Structure 1
Amino acid sequence: MRAAGSFSVAVIICLLWCGVWEVAPMAKANTSPSQCKQEVGRLRDECRSAILPGRNPSALCCQIVRAAHVECVCPYVTPKVANLIPVGRTIKQIEGCGRSVPRNFKCGSITTPP
């Protein structure tokens, strides 16, 4: 049970990371804690399969990622979480959603490659 729980946490974290990349170019918006909780939940629910090897984000997942707010996602990117995120694969998935990935962007404990 613990292994399945750890995998679920890794999936959620990676999905949150996708949201970080998508919203970096956008201006910060004032979001409430309940709005952030809803966004994080939608990312988790709709993008869950995208983290599996050989799977790409669905159209709905990409739509949710593009609408996510950086202030909702970055607090989850702790040093421990940063070690679980496959940065290169995540960048490719985001680009597959039609978005560019900003260089040298800092979010939580991660800075994107130059």
Structure 2
Amino acid sequence: MGKGNTRAIRSLGLSLMVLVVVGMCEVKMASAELSAAQCKEERRIGLNECKAVLYGKLPTPACCERVRVSHMECVCPVITPKLVALIDVNRAIRLIEGCGRRVPRHFKCGSITTP
């Protein structure tokens, strides 16, 4: 697999993870500001936990748990129009609901606004 394909898969995975995070009923905000390194690590762990979703599988219990503990302030800033173009929002919403979460209507996270 070429470098471009790997980047596209990682971007897609991050995007799917973000949409799963957007689906949280209660938006978790950190009581103290997280560092850039902490946010980067949180995104890395989330991508690893939810990677199977890229291959058409349902989110694992570990992926859904990651969704519940992720901080929006770490995820939303990296959602660019380029990343949004790589995802199917309707599929992502179905995956979110598979984790037992509602998707807030008209919620803005980076370049995504949910339907």
- TM-score, normalised on structure 2? 0.84
1:8-87 paired onto structure 2 within 5 Å = 8-23=9-24, 25-29=26-30, 30-53=33-56, 55-87=57-89
Residue 2 (1) aligns with residue 21 (2): no
CA distance in 2, matches of 1:24, 1:41: 23
- The offset of 1:9, in angstroms, is 2.5
Aligned residues: 112
- The offset of 1:27, in angstroms, is 4.4
CA distance in 2, matches of 1:24, 1:82: 21
CA distance in 2, matches of 1:74, 1:68: 11
- The offset of 1:23, in angstroms, is 4.3
Specify the alignment match of 1:111 in structure 2.
113
- The offset of 1:17, in angstroms, is 1.8
User: Could you say what secondary structure the match of 2:58 adopts?
Assistant: coil
Following TM superposition, the consecutive aligned residue runs of length 4 or more in structure 1 with deviations greater than 6 angstroms are none
CA distance in 2, matches of 1:78, 1:59: 27
What amino acid is the match of 1:16?
M
For structure 2, which runs of at least 5 residues remain unmatched after alignment? none
Q: Do the aligned residues in 2 keep the contact of 1:74 with 1:107 (CA within 8 Å)?
A: yes
For structure 1, which runs of at least 5 residues remain unmatched after alignment? none
- The offset of 1:43, in angstroms, is 0.8
Give the RMSD, CA atoms, in angstroms. Answer: 1.8
CA distance in 2, matches of 1:87, 1:17: 11
- TM-score, normalised on structure 1? 0.85
Identity %: 42
The 1:58/1:27 distance shift into structure 2, 3 A limit, reads: closer
The 1:27/1:14 distance shift into structure 2, 3 A limit, reads: closer
